[in-house]
Structure 1
């Protein structure tokens, strides 16, 4: 009895055990993830600061490497080759001044900030000048999709810049890091193509392209610098100490103001780009779900490539739908589309314009659409005509190829099979009955003088039948020259 009582007292409380087990599991998971994601322990702060400062200046070898990488990137963008652009990124030294600006703001180093800004301006100027000279004097200046993709910012560009900057700074701060050029890929991804596009826009005097690409480059630079600032603050890099306490406090305030000044436009830009991206996505979804499925009963059709989606930053956004053909979209359908557009949060204040058959008040727009449609139709006809001619030419060449005579092979067999042949010749003769022209393959044979006339006649008949059967052409003719 006493043993049972002792055993009961030893048995753990069933209500307390799950709580203790949960605390143990949670503690283990917490320790695991803390060790997995902690980057402070393996950070070399002094070496990182030294290396970033060393990469700031743009002179000598670094300048020439930048010029070469910009040339390669410009060629890649011009040729619409992503592989060539990536190759240019691998040798690009663009990251130095930008990391310097982010680091100097994080550690209150005004002297480094001043040097970084100066070299950053040199970097931008040299890059744009190099791209401008290439596109200005290179004879092929097509507006490739790789170039046009860099004329306006997109939410993805901002994310690439930010997370590329994060990856770059984390890698630079790690102890025993490898060659710094490799980490330049993250920066070059967001910076090199826009800079080349600025040069392209200036070279073709399209300042809209240049301004859009420069805006994209600017916001990418801001987000890369912001990522650098945040990582170095998180890693608790030591602040620069000044002998004069008043100067130290002043510089600290200046650095804080500059950091806030960078973060405010960065946050605002991210919000604006996100809003525009959200509007464009919902506008395309609205068109795909509601406009494109609409079926005309006669000859009307929706022209997707002529319709426009305009965000109009600061103004009323517009979705312009263009239709072609005599059949009009009924007013009740248009009204339904406008009501459906309001169900999308980003399209609630959007003006839905429907341009069709002269009903719209913009006659000039309709005239333009009509002319464009007609020109495309003519171009299509021209292409079909070219295709028809090419098909006929291919058929003609195939026909000629099928009637080609393997002269060497045939004459060798004829010489073996028919004794007494002295000479064989071949030609294609044109023959007409004044209604059509035909090509007749003709063999001419000459016998040796020793061959008897009876043998010539006998062998000639056999040769004629053999050639028609061998070449599968009943039009073949043979002539005797003696």
Structure 2
């Protein structure tokens, strides 16, 4: 065997040993850096969590005040007020108590925690419902709407927020983690939104918001349970291996089943975002802003709408536009695509453009012709203004308005629209008029009617709208 081969054989064990040493050093460094078991104070953690479970006296009043503050923040779309309410809310205590009691097999504490959690939910719903019944400002803003469609991302927020919360509790030191978890997981706003749903009899709002609260609560408790078990907190009651296995299996199955609706909601949110992006690109590509009224692009819970109101004639037929939708990944077969044309404006403009005079006679009769032309143009201008007002009233997107009204005001049983002509025998005015038939149990009907009237004016860009309730 030559000298080079001997040297190579001698070097291989050294390289292998060096690599193993490197991996060992890296592993020990990672373990020391990421480990949080050294700072855990188990007895102090149990004592701290148990002390925050009970809900009576001081804690109940703090909860009521924070619910009122959060409801006002949601009602006024004030993020700062909502965050302030979450910071003073004591809702986290019973949820952490559930996680601790499951992790230590402490069935007495589990019953106490569940009882406290039920009390907090009942008081929160009652307080927020009363607030939204009393307040004259009952319109659903963005902050309220944002709590009605929980999705898979909310599950991840609850998981990582819960992990941060229980880890902070095990250190038994004052930190800003728990307030941060309260803000991130947002336990209180969903309960306030659920109260709004009860107050307005909007069960879609209630179910969506309450589902979000359940997701947050369950996954915060679940992460607390996992960390408590990982840290090997002392068990209060021992279970045999078979029961322990069944217990863990039930928790796993329940947690998986709980997130199924949120996966569907996430998919729906993705579909909505894709549709709105593609539809806006389609509208911007084929229609000039100067040639149309404000277009309506609405996903409408899986029944998408694209409504175009043109000022003048369309450059292509409706079928041709639908064919072009494929270029923008839009399925024309499921989209309610409407395109309305205002041909009367073109007719008036054609008449004005056709008033041409040629030859020398034009210069001879210029004075008299100009007088007639001015009178005619004034008359046509007045007619055009009237026609425009009439067109704006006639071409409202009735279907879209109906859908939006029903979503925001489920108490409305039927909706009618027409043009009322009124006169003082000198001038005649056409007023767009909406008839709303309300559920007999509807409260604050007058204030809601005023809100709908303001919304319709803004939505349809009309100076005058009449709303009549019956």
Q: How does 1:99-248 map to 2 (within 5 A)?
A: 99-174=96-171, 176-178=172-174, 183-187=178-182, 189-242=185-238
TM-score normalized by structure 1? Answer: 0.63
Could you say which residue in structure 1 is the equivalent of 2:304?
Answer: 319
CA spacing shift, 1:19–1:109, aligned 2, 3 Å: same
Tell me the secondary structure at the aligned position of residue 357 of structure 1. strand
Q: Does residue 357 of structure 1 match 2:340?
A: yes
User: Contact 1:92–1:184 at 8 Å: present in 2 too?
Assistant: no
Runs of at least 5 residues in structure 1 that lack an aligned partner in the other structure? 312-316, 383-482
Could you say which residue in structure 2 is the equivalent of 1:462?
Answer: none
Aligned equivalents of 2:105, 2:401: Cα separation in 1: 62
Shift of 1:183: 1.1
User: Contact 1:73–1:88 at 8 Å: present in 2 too?
Assistant: yes
Shift of 1:191: 0.9
Aligned equivalents of 2:100, 2:335: Cα separation in 1: 48
In the alignment, which of 271, 277, 284 is matched to residue 276 of structure 2? 284
Could you say which residue in structure 2 is the equivalent of 1:335?
Answer: 323
Cα RMSD (Å) of the superposition? 3.8
User: Contact 2:150–2:265 at 8 Å: present in 1 too?
Assistant: yes
Tell me the secondary structure at the aligned position of residue 186 of structure 2. helix
Q: How does 1:431-442 map to 2 (within 5 A)?
A: none
User: Contact 1:292–1:302 at 8 Å: present in 2 too?
Assistant: no
Rg larger in 1 or in 2?
Answer: 1
User: Contact 1:201–1:207 at 8 Å: present in 2 too?
Assistant: yes
Aligned equivalents of 2:290, 2:145: Cα separation in 1: 37
**Deviation by residue 1:264-301 (Cα, 9 ceiling, x = unmatched):** 22342443233223323322333344443333599346
CA spacing shift, 1:377–1:24, aligned 2, 3 Å: closer
Q: Decide which moves more: 287-296 or 136-145.
A: 287-296
User: Contact 2:297–2:307 at 8 Å: present in 1 too?
Assistant: yes
Aligned equivalents of 1:90, 1:256: Cα separation in 2: 33
Could you say which residue in structure 2 is the equivalent of 1:428?
Answer: none
User: Contact 2:66–2:88 at 8 Å: present in 1 too?
Assistant: yes
Q: How does 1:412-431 map to 2 (within 5 A)?
A: none
Tell me the secondary structure at the aligned position of residue 322 of structure 1. strand
Q: Decide which moves more: 329-338 or 292-301.
A: 292-301
Tell me the secondary structure at the aligned position of residue 292 of structure 1. helix
Aligned equivalents of 1:94, 1:240: Cα separation in 2: 25
Aligned equivalents of 1:377, 1:53: Cα separation in 2: 53
Q: Does residue 42 of structure 1 match 2:32?
A: no
CA spacing shift, 1:72–1:310, aligned 2, 3 Å: same
Tell me the secondary structure at the aligned position of residue 356 of structure 1. strand
Shift of 1:127: 0.8
Aligned equivalents of 1:258, 1:171: Cα separation in 2: 27
Shift of 1:177: 1.8
Could you say which residue in structure 1 is the equivalent of 2:297?
Answer: 307
Shift of 1:367: 9.1
CA spacing shift, 1:377–1:35, aligned 2, 3 Å: closer
TM-score normalized by structure 2? Answer: 0.65
Shift of 1:172: 0.8
